[in-house]
Structure 1
Amino acid sequence: MRMLMQIKIPHEPFNTAVRKGTAGETLRRILDEIKPEAVYFSEYEGQRGAMLIVDVAEPSKVPALAEPWFLSFNANVEFHLVMSLDDLGKAGIDAIGKKWG
């Protein structure tokens, strides 16, 4: 199942990792392990943030995606189901609308 991971990284311990020169290496290790379909970095509520598209085969895989962020950066991680336009087309949204509208 395709999911959007929203990650909010607090200033500490990330600032310390930047000063030590280890932030990039840690980010690379996490991303190499998670293997997201896509990743984007941005500001998130005044803090560093990232948005990843990941494939979650089953719920038991969620900790392996979130824990590296928790343990490395004390980050907050949220998961949101997402779908493509093709996925939405398969949902039968028009028939649902007729039934419930």
Structure 2
Amino acid sequence: MRVLLKATLDTEKGNEAIRSGKLPELMKETLDQLKPEAAYFGTLGGKRTALLVLDMQDSSQLPPIGEPFFMQLNAEVEVCPIMNREDLQTGLSQLR
């Protein structure tokens, strides 16, 4: 199932990771492990935010998906199911 992960980084932990030079390494390791379909980075609500589109096969994948953000960056993490255009068309066709 395609999911959207939104990780909102704690400002102090993010600053620490940037100052120490660890943020690029941490993000690379995390992205290499998760292999997102898409990854976007910016600010939402005034905080550093990562938006990742992932294919999650089983709910047991939630801990390894979220923990790097929780443990290393004290991030708030949200995961929700999402659809692309084809998924939406397929779902809507089943309403008839």
TM over 0.5: yes
Aligned to 2:83: 83
> Following the alignment from structure 1 to structure 2, what is the Cα–Cα distance between the partners of residues 33 and 4?
16
Give ranges in structure 2 of 5+ residues lacking alignment: none
Deviation per CA, 1:60-95: give whole Å up to 9, x if none: 11111000110110001101111111111111x256
Query: Could you tell me how far 1:37 is from its partner in structure 2?
Result: 0.8
Larger Rg: 1
Q: TM-score, normalised by structure 1?
A: 0.88
| Shift in Å, 1:48 | 0.3
Q: RMSD of the alignment, in Å? A: 1.3
| Secondary structure in 1 matching 2:14 | helix
Identify unmatched segments of 5+ residues in structure 1.
none
Among the aligned pairs, what percent are the same residue?
Answer: 35
TM-score, L = length of structure 2:
0.92
Count of aligned residue pairs for this structure pair: 96
Partner of 2:42: 42
